[in-house]
Amino acid sequence: MELGTLYEVYPDDTNLLGLDYNQGERIFIRLRSAIDEYLPLPQIIDIMLHELAHVEHPNHGPGFVMLWEQLRWEFGYNSGNGNRQDHSGIHISDQLIIPDKTDANTTVCPI
Cα–Cα dist 40/74, whole Å = 20
Minimum mean pLDDT among 19-28, 50-59, 95-104: which range?
Answer: 95-104
Would residue 14 count as lying in a domain? yes
Would residue 55 count as lying in a domain? yes
Would residue 94 count as lying in a domain? no
Closest by Cα among 23, 32, 41, 3 to 98: 32
Q: How many domains does the chain have?
A: 1
Would residue 98 count as lying in a domain? no
Range of the domain at 46: 1-78
Would residue 104 count as lying in a domain? no
Distance of alpha carbon 52 from the chain centroid: 7
pLDDT digits (tens, 9 = 90+) for 73-107: 988 877 776 555 554 444 444 444 444 444 444 44
Would residue 57 count as lying in a domain? yes
